[in-house]
Amino acid sequence: MEQGNFRAITLFLIGTWITWKVVTQFQKWRRRRAIITQHGCRAPPTPTERDPFGLKDIRESTEAYHSKTLLQRTCAQYDRYGKTYTSRFMTQKVIHTIEPENIKAVLSTNFYDYGVGWRRKHAFRPLLGGSLFQIDGHAWAKSRAVIQPAFSRARVNDVAAWEPIVESFLARVLDAASDKHTVDLAPHFFQLATDLASSFIRGKTTDKSKEIERREEEEFLEAMKEAGGGCEKRWQLGIFTVLFPMKDFFRQVAKVHKYMEKQVNDVLAIRDAADISKRRDFLASLTERTKDRKVLTDEACMLFVAAADTTGCLLTNLFFLLGRYEDVWRRLREEAAAFGSKRPTAQDLKKLKYHVNCIREALRVLPILPSNSREAYKDTVLPIGGGADGTSPVFVPAGSVVSFSIMAMQRRKDLWGEDAEEFRPERWEITQPGINWAYIPFMQGPRICLGNELAMLEAIYILMRMAKRFKRLDRIDQKPWMENVSVGTTSADGVKVVLVPDETYNLGVATL
């Protein structure tokens, strides 16, 4: 080709591309103007507009994360800037909101306008692959329909299956508390949560008397902790992850996968050898729908992350709070004693109103996932938060993030009263008006936590057993709660308490 022709073609192509870009940008602008006008959208406050890439904000929140004051900072930001405001994370616009109406729009009304976003997908992909937690839209709906049967009522309400696990947990705690009645409950709660998750996922727990099994589980838990921390780091780093090879992180992920693959292979071997339909665990249920080892491994890892850490965090936070309130413990013991010594069913547990209220209240004051976010996959609108008075709708351009602090919303004084920061289970004795979307420890809408009923039942049962077994529960010191933010959020100082057993308690097998 002659040089002149080549230059002309190149100029023509560049010109066409520029024209196409200008036209599509103009069309996008017109489309967006139409949405803004149609809904009367106004911009929310942008207090950090002199920080166009959000670098100051990123630096301050990283510092707050390291000094364990991230949650405090998040709540303070809302106090300072209002219930809806915007900031930037590099090139991405972030709309922060603690308006229940907005959260309803994101999680339910306009559900398909949003997804979990590239940052979460990128951060957790090595560990959780393409599991339920990581996907959106129709792929997510299909996958959820496959997994949901594993959460059938019969499986979730199987209180008897937890009995040996809870018994050995109580024995460990009694043993630990035998020295001057002092114990840190946190490691025991995390071991208990691991056993409950294991039992739900693969139908059995690790036999602690077998050295090899015990060591394998310990290594798995250690690797899972490191891998979870690595995912958090990838989340913080975003696109800059490419600058860090994170070799150790990938080694830990490989260890986690190897352990889970072994569990999957065991289930598949049983499936091949015998009728597995009598088994009630998650993996057995899932193998009725797929035998793909990668899918089974990813989903089992996802479920372990979703179930074990969260339940451990909930119990730790709950007992941290309970250790400060003698009266609450006394009321719990009265309710547990009134139930008698028969083995409870799931229905019985749900009727222990004061137990339920204590757990609800702990999840309100100290939610396990204190904040969450979604990325807008198309241009959309939030119903409220725009303009100086925060009452106009807000335009949400595709690609921006809506971030919501569950903790700040669940402590709003205008919604929960002047004592919103206080742990007061009695507040649940009268119906909380209009709290539907202002109380979302398990989220809400189509993507609500699949294990919420199971998590609540397990917590009620453990609380009841502890209330029966120990006549006193007092915190050793009155230090304020200090955050430890990871996959779930829990007390950084554990739960160091004085636990005094009730000598009148009958440890017979038939009595609880």
Report the relative pairing of strands 380-386 and 392-396 from DSSP bridges.
Answer: antiparallel
Instruction: Give the tokens for residue 275.
Output: 């009728």
Closer CB to ligand HEM, 487 or 512, in the complex: 487
State the minimum distance, in angstroms, from the CB of residue 183 to ligand HEM.
22
State the minimum distance, in angstroms, from the CB of residue 84 to ligand HEM.
20
State the minimum distance, in angstroms, from the CB of residue 193 to ligand HEM.
8
What SS3 state is found at 94? strand
Closer CB to ligand HEM, 183 or 300, in the complex: 300
Task: Give yes or no for a contact between 84 and 385, defined as CB atoms under 8 angstroms apart.
Answer: yes
Closer CB to ligand HEM, 41 or 306, in the complex: 306
State the minimum distance, in angstroms, from the CB of residue 181 to ligand HEM.
28
State the minimum distance, in angstroms, from the CB of residue 384 to ligand HEM.
22
Task: Give yes or no for a contact between 268 and 287, defined as CB atoms under 8 angstroms apart.
Answer: yes
Closer CB to ligand HEM, 438 or 455, in the complex: 455
State the minimum distance, in angstroms, from the CB of residue 367 to ligand HEM.
7
State the minimum distance, in angstroms, from the CB of residue 3 to ligand HEM.
57
Closer CB to ligand HEM, 64 or 363, in the complex: 363
State the minimum distance, in angstroms, from the CB of residue 13 to ligand HEM.
43
Closer CB to ligand HEM, 352 or 369, in the complex: 369
Closer CB to ligand HEM, 169 or 442, in the complex: 442
Closest CA to 70 of 81, 56, 58, 80: 58
State the minimum distance, in angstroms, from the CB of residue 314 to ligand HEM.
4
Which residue sits closest to ligand HEM, CB atoms considered? 451
State the minimum distance, in angstroms, from the CB of residue 416 to ligand HEM.
19
Distance CA 67, CA 449 (A): 30
Alpha-carbon distances of 362 from 82, 167, 183, 186, 215, rounded to whole Å: 25, 24, 21, 15, 34
Task: Give yes or no for a contact between 85 and 96, defined as CB atoms under 8 angstroms apart.
Answer: yes
Residues at the interface with ligand HEM (CB under 6 A):
132-133, 144, 200, 303, 306-307, 310-311, 314, 368-369, 372, 441-443, 447, 449-451, 454-455
Question: CB under 8 Å to 20, separation ≥6 — which residues?
Answer: none
Closer CB to ligand HEM, 127 or 314, in the complex: 314
Closer CB to ligand HEM, 221 or 449, in the complex: 449
What SS3 state is found at 85? strand
Task: Give yes or no for a contact between 465 and 512, defined as CB atoms under 8 angstroms apart.
Answer: yes
Task: Give yes or no for a contact between 53 and 240, defined as CB atoms under 8 angstroms apart.
Answer: no
User: What is the secondary structure of 34-65 as a DSSP string?
Assistant: HHHHHHT--PPP-TTTT-TT-HHHHHHHHHHH
Furthest-apart CA pair in the chain: how many Å?
A: 101
The letter for the amino acid at 224 is M
Task: Give yes or no for a contact between 390 and 98, defined as CB atoms under 8 angstroms apart.
Answer: no
Closer CB to ligand HEM, 329 or 404, in the complex: 404
The 10 Å CB-count burial string (b at 16+, else e) for 28-43 is eeeeeeebbeebebbb
Closer CB to ligand HEM, 356 or 449, in the complex: 449
Question: CB under 8 Å to 294, separation ≥6 — which residues?
Answer: 129
Instruction: Give the tokens for residue 222.
Output: 């250690």
State the minimum distance, in angstroms, from the CB of residue 507 to ligand HEM.
28
Alpha-carbon distances of 65 from 69, 145, 453, rounded to whole Å: 6, 36, 31
State the minimum distance, in angstroms, from the CB of residue 443 to ligand HEM.
4
Rounded to a whole number of angstroms, the distance between the first and last alpha carbons of the chain is 90
Task: Give yes or no for a contact between 147 and 136, defined as CB atoms under 8 angstroms apart.
Answer: no
Closer CB to ligand HEM, 382 or 462, in the complex: 462
State the minimum distance, in angstroms, from the CB of residue 80 to ligand HEM.
26
Alpha-carbon distances of 166 from 191, 194, 199, 304, 465, rounded to whole Å: 11, 12, 12, 18, 8
Closer CB to ligand HEM, 381 or 450, in the complex: 450
